[in-house]
Amino acid sequence: MTAELIAEVILPALGGDQEAGRLADAAVLSAGGARELALTTDSYVVQPLEFPGGDIGKLAVCGTINDVAVAGARPAGLSVGLIIEEGLEIQTLRRMLESAGRAAAEASVPIVTGDTKVVQRGALDGLMINTAGVGRMLAGADLGFDRIAEGDRIVLSGPLGEHGLAVMGRRKGLSFSSDLKSDCAAIHELAAALVEHLGPALHFMRDPTRGGLAAILAELSSGAGRDLTIDEAAIPVNPSALAAAEILGLDLLTVANEGKLVAVVEAGAGDEAVGILRRYPIAERAADIGQFRARSDDPWPRMLTAVGGRRMIQMPYGEELPRIC
């Protein structure tokens, strides 16, 4: 529904000349005639503000860093805009800001500008954060749907659904296993390593946030105009997240992540990409999960199930979970 809103209302009104399904997480801008800069913006409205493994401050910083990174750029600076509801406790605000500051410092990406607004009580759920990020394109980065070819491999950096299920568990007061925490983390070092070591063999990157892996696969298949197939048995899974999803009746493929990377690499480079990612603790369970097929007039992503069947993967329609990012 969001894709329909963008395609039918937002892009036409703002003069956009791209198809909604081919929009990237960040825009690549020219400076001095060269494609040098990546720019992104995002807004965060998660409830509750704090959850196992993170909070809205850390989420806003990491999410924006990641959107710049998967464009093939090195994040250089962030803005942070705060919209604060009257009555929010100062100690809560301080914790969120300190968390954002720590996340930025750990990633070596400074917060360089911002804005603050206070709205009347009842206008929102405590705190919303809008961030923007800018980065310089890495040498050799050439990413896009048009680079995807038959035989290309799909690589995933780790287990699915941990963020969405950790947030839902805290929101609903559900007690899951103690190891079920949000995967919220900056992935810019992963992305930079892939660009550096794979060069032109790296064709596309995206982080599977809202809509999860299912949304990314649907976008990839449509944007590339190719069928793709993934292997359910190859997808890394956190047993606690899988159990929680089953309890809640959710499809783990559609649950949001905030510290994962999906990369498309040329045929023959899948094992190398996995090896590069596994050098980093947050990607120690990286895996090659599938590949692209031939061009199609009606492209679809499919999954080979653990029991030997085939399942069509669709773009999630509506949200199974209340907003979690």
| Helix/strand/coil percent split, the chain, to 5 | 35, 25, 35
Last residue of a domain, one of 82, 115, 137: 137
In a domain, 5, yes or no: no
Do 186 and 154 belong together in one domain? yes
In a domain, 4, yes or no: no
In a domain, 11, yes or no: no
Do 302 and 187 belong together in one domain? yes
In a domain, 125, yes or no: yes
Cα gap 269→262, rounded to integer Å: 14
Cα gap 228→94, rounded to integer Å: 46
Q: List average pLDDT for each run of 10 residues in the chain, which is 325 residues long.
A: 84 77 81 82 93 96 98 97 97 98 98 97 94 96 95 97 88 72 97 98 95 94 95 95 88 94 97 98 98 93 92 78 56
Do 161 and 306 belong together in one domain? yes
Strands 111-119 and 73-85, bridge-based pairing: parallel
In a domain, 8, yes or no: no
Last residue of a domain, one of 99, 117, 137: 137
Structural domain span for residue 170: 145-312
In a domain, 102, yes or no: yes
Give the Cβ contact number of residue 33 at 10 Å.
Answer: 6
Cα gap 149→294, rounded to integer Å: 8
Cα gap 204→142, rounded to integer Å: 8
Per-residue confidence (pLDDT) for residue 134, from 0 to 100: 97
How many residues belong to the chain?
Answer: 325
Count of the separate structural domains present in the chain: 2
Cα separation values, 256 from 3, 96, 318, Å: 16, 21, 13
67, 56 contact by CB (below 8 A): no
**4 three-class SS:** helix
Per-residue confidence (pLDDT) for residue 301, from 0 to 100: 96
206, 221 contact by CB (below 8 A): no
CATH of the domain at 110: 3.30.1330.10
**23 three-class SS:** coil
In a domain, 166, yes or no: yes
